[in-house]
Amino acid sequence: MCNVGKIDKTARIVGAIALLVAAYFTPYWWLGIAGLFVIGTIVFSFCPMYTLLGINTSCEMKSKDKEKTEETEKKSE
C-alpha cells in the first residue's frame, strides 16, 4: 500500500535533509531520528499519519479509485 506521491516525496527529501543537517550541527540529536523516519516514509511510499488522517497523495491510488468510480457508474446505467 502506498499513499505518498511524487511531489510529496520531493518535499519530504528536502525536509529530511534539513532535519539531518540540523541534528548534526545542533545538540538536538532527536531531529536525526525524525529525519530517518521521514526517509523511511520516502523509501516505502507509505506514511502512517496519512492513513490515520485519510490522506492519499499517490497518483497510482487516485487512478485506481477513479477506475472504480467509473465502473460503478457504468453498472448503474
Report whether 50 contacts 5 (CB < 8 A). Answer: no
Cell digits of residue 38: 521521514
Q: Which pLDDT does position 58 carry in this prediction?
A: 83
Break the chain into its structural domains and give their ranges: 6-70
pLDDT value of residue 29: 95
Q: Which three cell numbers stand for residue 56?
A: 492519499
Please give the model's pTM, rounded to 2 decimal places: 0.70
How many angstroms separate the CA atoms of 22 and 18, rounded?
Answer: 6
Rg of the chain, C-alpha, whole Å: 17
Instruction: Dump pLDDT digits (tens) for 44-56.
Output: 999 999 989 998 9
Residues of the chain with pLDDT under 70: 59-77
